[in-house]
Amino acid sequence: MECEFPSVNANKQEIVEIFKSVKTIAVLGLSPDSSKDSYKVAAYLQAHGFQIVPVYPKEETILGEKVYNSLAEIPFAIDMVNIFRKPAALDAIADACIARGDIKVFWAQKGIVNNEAAQKAKDAGMIVVQNLCSMVEHSSL
């Protein structure tokens, strides 16, 4: 497995601004399993006042929220995507974010880096975060 170092990444001040401005977060790959990181992070963000929108193909509700099969199905504005998917999936996710036109933040969780997808998202005007945990970053503020 080849690991990438994030060449496209937000700085600390941008991360502070993300958490001040973001209200609605689509969590891609949000597992219904409470032992999984995606569930723990989403539950934390939800408990801290963010609206969580689960995107997962196999459930109807997670954390009390309606689950959508894809970003395209969500019928309201999304401020940020929080991604718990393999790096190879990020190209298609960046394209889906660009197609929506309303996503301001493209956040790939700890261990997830795809510089090509990140650059595509950045070029489309999104703030990009890679290889950082949104829960850890929020709790450190």
The count of domains in the chain is 1
User: What does the pLDDT look like over 68-97, one tens digit per residue?
Assistant: 999 999 999 999 999 999 999 999 999 999
Q: Provide the sign of the torsion angle of the four alpha carbons 110, 115, 121, 124, taken in this order.
A: positive
Q: Is residue 16 part of a domain?
A: yes
Domain that holds residue 72: 12-139
Q: Is residue 84 part of a domain?
A: yes
Q: Is residue 101 part of a domain?
A: yes
Q: Is residue 95 part of a domain?
A: yes
pTM of the model: 0.95
pLDDT, mean of residues 58-63? 95
Q: Is residue 98 part of a domain?
A: yes
Q: Is residue 88 part of a domain?
A: yes
User: What does the pLDDT look like over 98-111, one tens digit per residue?
Assistant: 999 999 999 999 99
pLDDT-derived band at 8, boundaries 50, 70, 90: confident
Q: Is residue 7 part of a domain?
A: no
pLDDT, mean of residues 52-73? 96
CA pair distance 29, 9, nearest whole angstrom: 21
CA pair distance 23, 128, nearest whole angstrom: 17
CATH number at residue 117: 3.40.50.720
Q: Are 68 and 55 in contact (CB under 8 A)?
A: yes
Q: Is residue 3 part of a domain?
A: no
